[in-house]
Amino acid sequence: MPPARARAAAAVPVRRRAGMSRAREWGNVPQPGPGRRADEGKAEVTGRNDGKRRPPTAAGEHPAWARELLDHLRPGGRDVRRVVDWLAGAAHAEVSLQDDAGTLLAGTRLPLDESLVAGLRSGRIASAAWEGEGHHLRLVRVGHPARACVLAVSREAPFDRHTADVVTHTAQVIELLLSAHETAAAGHRLRRATADLRLAILQLLMVEDTVAARRVAAGLWPGLLDADTACVYVVESTPGRREQLLEDCLDTTREEALVVRCPAMDGHVIVVSPREATADHLRSLVERHPDTYLGGSVWQSLARTATAYGQAVSALAVARFRADKTAVYAERTHPERLMDPAALRGWTAMVLRPLDALPHHTRAELLATTRLGLEFTAVNSAKILGVSRNTVRARMERVETMLGVDFGDVTARAVVHLALHTQINLLDGRAGTAPGAPARLADLLAGPAVGAWARELLGRLDGDPRNVRRTVRTWIAAGGNAERAAQSLGVHPQTVREHVRGAEPVLERQLLAAGTDLYEVVLAHLAVGDLEQPLLAGG
């Protein structure tokens, strides 16, 4: 028996169903036989009825429909829905594509024989066809990495060899697209999971849980956080370019750094690296791309990642005005370094003593959240920590209550900020290991070195004829509220904002964005007696 007849004999027996004049199933869609062209009957499909035969296709030349179908595999046209719509037009038919659960993926839903569809999904048959009630239906099994799909084509005219070829090849194209989509989706899920893991590591570092951060990182990036110190960098671009910026940072650092989408700022990418070469790599990246800026911290212990992040953000503000678009946080003279170390340790221990009765984990969580909450808004702090803003506010309110302070008062925020950062220094061993004799805030601020520093800093504003120094002092006393400060001064709120903004480059500190810069200016006012000292339960 010739091979062609053998295949025909092996076809599934004819099945008759109510309302159908003829039905058939087979393992493969028929291919053109010997001496018969693949495009025979095309005049009927395309609407030609003049009886003229088309000239044969030149050797190596694809028919027009094949070229159109192949166009759907180009990078800009890989859309299963568009392929199904194209098939509907090319075959003058209604077309549907369903998955193994019967969900319509593309096209128009068609009434299908469930037992026949089940056979296609199971792989028992590869394709099937029937005709009846004035319609001709063809079904083709479309393989898929996760599940089998069914492509159904229904038309009034019978399926000639040309239309059968179109359906067969379209099914193959759809299979390729579904496989490519599944591969791309799996790759996307992997990249998303890796990005989430990087963010989780950063959040652990932000709350000083370096042990857990190292444990999580060791699985995918062995040795990444083995060092005791690291630098934090913030690379900024437009929000629309951030994904490409993230990939550029990963390539530039060769994955030898922790690269994270900033959860708080849409245009920022955060890089935590224990390697000195990272700075040069990132500078090179910024040089190559316009509208890209880099801010970096000084070297900090991993437990001070949150502090280093604040420094990098502060440096980024400077980088926007520099020709090379980069800046590193300047290690200027901070007021706490001018205070008596033993007295500062004793005062810090006294201020934070109400928290000592808490379990270690709870205390560390409250301190880390409050430290971030004093540097950034509650919303941004929540995004950085991966918790809700209500959680951030609840933790800070608990600290307020236990310390007996009001964080609505900028001076109280500045003083607690001083205690929290001194406590971090104590953990790092930078200010000694044991608290000294108890002292009060007034004693710390009364030292000659602190007084000289404060007078020099605020004295920079004295030359402004607008009396900017008075505006800044009034604005701080009003809790950083321009409207209340304007009422006290008898000016417009915009005038207050302009004066405060104008003081920033003179003082070399950001004031409108609450954080370390503002709190240092507040401490300077407290040291010279321009503001009343806040009341604290412990000091």
Which is nearest to 90 in space by CA: 160, 20, 29, 139? 160
Quick check: 145 pLDDT over 70? no
- What is the token pair recorded at 111? 């009434």
Query: Can you give the pLDDT at residue 144?
Result: 67
Query: Can you give the pLDDT at residue 280?
Result: 92
* Band (425; pLDDT cuts 50, 70, 90): low
Least confident window among 124-128, 187-191, 280-284:
187-191
Query: Can you give the pLDDT at residue 248?
Result: 92
Cβ atoms of residues 347 and 191 within 8 Å: no
Quick check: 14 pLDDT over 50? no
Quick check: 98 pLDDT over 60? yes
* Band (402; pLDDT cuts 50, 70, 90): very high
Quick check: 298 pLDDT over 60? yes
* Band (515; pLDDT cuts 50, 70, 90): confident
3-state secondary structure 112-172: CCHHHHHHHHHCCCCEEEEEECCEEEEEEEECCCCCCEEEEEEECCCCCHHHHHHHHHHHH
Cβ atoms of residues 138 and 28 within 8 Å: no
Give CA–CA dist 463/359, Å, rounded.
Answer: 51
Quick check: 125 pLDDT over 80? no
CA 299 to mean position of chain CA atoms: 26
- Half-sphere exposure of 165 toward its Cβ, with a 13 Å CA cutoff? 20
- Residue 509 three-state SS: coil
Least confident window among 138-147, 495-504, 520-529:
138-147
- What is the token pair recorded at 258? 């922790």
* Beta pairing class for 268-273 and 135-142: unpaired
- What is the token pair recorded at 136? 């001709």
Give CA–CA dist 278/353, Å, rounded.
Answer: 40
**Average pLDDT in the 253-279 region?**
90
Least confident window among 184-188, 512-516, 527-531:
184-188
- What is the token pair recorded at 372? 């971030």
Give CA–CA dist 255/233, Å, rounded.
Answer: 15
Mean pLDDT of the chain: 79
- With tokens 């969900």, the residue in question is 103
Query: Can you give the pLDDT at residue 390?
Result: 94
* Band (177; pLDDT cuts 50, 70, 90): confident
Least confident window among 56-60, 378-382, 446-450:
56-60
Query: Can you give the pLDDT at residue 93?
Result: 82
Quick check: 454 pLDDT over 80? yes
Query: Can you give the pLDDT at residue 512?
Result: 86
* Beta pairing class for 293-296 and 326-328: parallel
Least confident window among 38-47, 173-182, 203-212, 385-394:
38-47
Provide the Cα torsion 400, 406, 408, 413; round to 10°. Answer: -70
More confident residue, 419 or 164: 419
**Average pLDDT in the 142-161 region?**
79
Query: Can you give the pLDDT at residue 24?
Result: 39
Cβ atoms of residues 411 and 476 within 8 Å: yes
Integer-rounded Cα Rg, in Å, for the chain is 36
**Average pLDDT in the 222-228 region?**
86
* Band (2; pLDDT cuts 50, 70, 90): very low
* Band (4; pLDDT cuts 50, 70, 90): very low
Tell me, what amino acid is at 427?
A: L
- With tokens 């890796």, the residue in question is 194
More confident residue, 305 or 76: 305
Helix and strand totals (H; E) in the chain: 21, 12
Tell me, what amino acid is at 18?
A: A
- With tokens 């893991």, the residue in question is 197
Least confident window among 43-52, 64-73, 278-287:
43-52
Which is nearest to 294 in space by CA: 264, 262, 271? 271
**Average pLDDT in the 249-261 region?**
89
In sign, the C-alpha dihedral spanning 526, 531, 532, 533 is negative
Query: Can you give the pLDDT at residue 385?
Result: 87
Query: Can you give the pLDDT at residue 223?
Result: 83
3-state secondary structure 330-388: CCCCCHHHHCCHHHHHHHHHHHHHHHCCCCHHHHHHHHHHHHHHHHCCHHHHHHHHCCC
pTM of the model: 0.60
Quick check: 347 pLDDT over 50? yes
Query: Can you give the pLDDT at residue 413?
Result: 94
72 exposure class (CB count in 10 Å sphere: 0-12, 13-18, 19+) = buried
**Average pLDDT in the 376-385 region?**
88
Give CA–CA dist 302/307, Å, rounded.
Answer: 10
Rounded to the nearest 10 degrees, the angle between the axes of helix 516-528 and helix 305-319 is 90
Report the percent of the chain where pLDDT is more than 70.
80
Query: Can you give the pLDDT at residue 268?
Result: 95
* Band (537; pLDDT cuts 50, 70, 90): low
How crowded is residue 35: how many other Cβ atoms within 10 Å of its Cβ? Answer: 5
- What is the token pair recorded at 367? 């301190």
Query: Can you give the pLDDT at residue 539?
Result: 56
Sheet order of strands, 127-132 included: 22-26, 127-132, 135-142, 149-155, 94-98, 104-107
Going from the N-terminus, what domains does the chain have, and what CATH number goes with each? 21-45+62-182 (3.30.450.40), 207-328 (3.30.70.270), 335-528 (no CATH)
